[in-house]
Amino acid sequence: MAKVSALQTARYAYTPKKPGVLNLKPESIQLEFGKPTKAVSDQKELSELFKNTYGKPEATFVKGKNPEVKNQIRVGVILSGGQAPGGHNVIAGLFDGIKAGNPNSKLFGFLNGPSGLTDNEYIEIKDKYMDEFRNTGGFDMIGSGRTKIETPEQYAAAMDTAKKLKLDAIVIIGGDDSNTNAALLAETFVAAGMKTRVIGVPKTIDGDLKNDQIETSFGFDTACKTYSELIGNIERDANSAKKYWHFIKLMGRSASHIALECALQTQPNICLISEEVEAKKMTLKQITDYICESIVARAQNNENFGVVLVPEGLVEFIPEMKSLIAELNDTMAHKADEFNKLVSFEDKKAWLKDNLKPASYKTFDSLPDAIAAQFLADRDPHGNVQVSRIETEKLLVTMVENQLAALKKSKKYTGKFSAYTHFFGYEGRCAFPSNFDADYCYALGYTAFLLIASGVTGYLSSVRNLTAPAKEWTAGGIPLTMMMNMEQRHGTKKPVIKKALVELEGKPFKEFAKNRDTWKVKTSYTYPGAIQYFGPAEVADQTTKTILLERGKGKVTSAAKTSAKTEKASAAKKEPAKKAKAKK
C-alpha cells in the first residue's frame, strides 16, 4: 500500500452510520412492496419499451424474515460516468452486505466503467483491497468510464460476461444516463431469460438525479462543501484586497443545483440560475445588464470588488444560445462527415453560414472567435456541444467590460473594474467524502445488496429521511422506469431518466431570491470553511442547505444577523474588563 496521510489513516477507521433497519441481521430485513408505479411521462411508449420491468412497485425495507440473504451470490459492480465523492463507500456497503449475508459470496469490480463489463475486464474485490479505499474519495479503486451499452453487440458481450462469471447481479453506480443504461440492461437480461439482476445507485455531484424518493444524489454534499470553501476563501480575499471581481463557473450543465447551494452557503453578490434565465427568456445582454447593475451600485459605495457565480450550463439556457446549440447539435450530427473534413476555424465558420439559419449564425458570429471555436470542439458521447469547455465566465467578463466602457463614456459609471475568472469542477469530484456522504453512500451500497438478495431487478437503491440522524433514515428501492421519459438524442427519441432541474417555486430558490437583492449591493459574504470530519454532529454531520430547505428544516442566516451576534458576544467579553477598569 502507498503511504497515506494522517487524515486518510483516520478515515480508514471511521465506521459509517446506517439507517436503523440496516443494523438488523440481514436475514431479519424484509422487502415490503407498495403500489405499482408509472413513468413521469410518455407512459405508453415506455411501457412498450420495458415490457418486463415497467410499472413495478416501490419497495421499503422493514423488520421481518428474509432467509434468502444467506444464499451464496456473485455480484459485479460498475462505477460509471464522472467521479463523485463517496463511490468507494457504496462499494464498501455492497461488499460488507454481501459478506454479512454469506462470507463465501463474491464481489467483482469491472474496470474502467461499463466497458469493463463488455470487455470482461475485472478484479475480485477482497477484504484487504477493500480496506484501502474505505471513506476515501475518487474512483481509483476500479476506475470509471462513460461507455454506453446500447448496441446489440454490446448487450451480447455484457450477457456473455455475466454468464462466464455466473453473476447473480450487477450494480451500476452512476447518474441519470448511467442508470438509464441500468434500466435497459435489466430489461434486456429479463427478456433473454437471464438470472442476472441489475440494480442502480444514484450518483452525480450535479444534484440533478432526485425526486421524492431520491432526496439527493451522492457526492453533491461533499462537492458543494468543497466549492463553497473555495468560494468563501475568494470572498474573503476580495473583501480584503477590495479591487477584484471574481467570476466563478461551477459544475452543473443541465441544472444549477450546485450554483444555488453554493450561493446559499456563501452569499455572493451575483448567482445566475440557468433555469430562471430560461424561464424569463433573459438574453445575454440582459444578463450583462444585471451584473453591471451590481458593479455600478457597489462602485458608488467604493466597493469595486465582488463575486459572481455562473453555472457551467448557462449558455444552453440563454434563448439565442440555446437555439444556436440545438441547431449546431442537429446539423453537425446529420452532416458530421462533411463538417469533420474542415480544418480551419474560418472554413468551419463559412460552412456554418451556409448550414445554419440566419438567426443562429448571427448569434455565432457575434461571439469572440476564441469562444465561438469552443462551440465547435469535439462533441460529448451524446453528440452534443461540450458545454463545460465553453468559457462562459470569460464571455461574461468580456460583455461586462464592454458595457462598463459604454457606461463610463456616458458618465454613468466612475468605478474601477478588474476581473479574475475561475472554474471549479475537478476540485470537488474526488474530495474526501463528508461524513454525510460517507454514511449515505455506505447505506446505498448495503441497500443495493438487500435489493439483490430480495430478488428484484431494474430498481434504484433509495435511502430517505436524510435530514434526520442516520439511524432514522429509511432504506428501499424505486423502479428505474418510474423516473424515465423520452428525449431527443442524436436526432432520435430515446428513453432516459429525467433530470431534476432547480424548481423556481421550490423553497431553496425562494430563500435565495428573498436575499439576493441585498447580497447584490451589500457585502454579505459568509465563509463556510473546510469540511469537518470530527466534532459535534451539527458541524461534522450537517447536510446541504438545499435538502434542509426542501424538507422545511433550514434557512439562510443573514450576514447582518451573524455580525450582530459577533458584536454582541464581543461586547459581552469586554464588559467585565470595563467594570474592572472602572473599579480601579
- Strand-pair category, 492-497 with 484-489: antiparallel
Is 140 noted as a catalytic residue in this protein?
no
How far are the Cα atoms of 194, 288, 445 from residue 116, in angstroms, in the given order? Answer: 19, 46, 20
Q: How many CA atoms lie within 13 A of 445 on its CB side?
A: 31
CA distance 489 to 383: 8
457585502: which residue's cell? 523
The closest alpha carbon to 309, from 510, 512, 504, 503, belongs to 512
Which grid cell is 457?
431487478
* Helix H or strand E segment including 58: strand 57-63
Q: Of the listed 206, 221, 439, 541, which one is catalytic?
A: 206
Kind and range of the H or E run holding 185: helix 176-191
217 CB-contact burial (10 Å; exposed 0-12 / middle 13-18 / buried 19+):
buried
- Widest Cα–Cα separation across the chain: 92
Q: Are 49 and 481 in contact (CB under 8 A)?
A: no
Reading phi first (left if > 0) and then psi (alpha if -120 to 50, else beta), residue 257 is in: alpha
How far the first Cα of the chain sits from its last, in Å, is 65
Q: How far apart are CA 308 and CA 247, in angstroms?
A: 5
Label residues 91-104 b or e (16+ Cβ within 10 Å = b).
bbbbbbbbbbbeee
Query: CA dist 144 to 80, 109, 178, 294, 562, Å?
Result: 5, 11, 11, 42, 43
What is the torsional sign of CA 175, 177, 181, 187? positive
Paired residues of 496 in beta bridges: 485
Among the listed residues 171, 169, 166, the one whose alpha carbon sits nearest the alpha carbon of residue 142: 171
Between CA 120 and CA 65, with CA 103 as vertex, the angle to 5 degrees is: 110
Three-state SS at 424: strand
Enzyme catalytic residues: 206
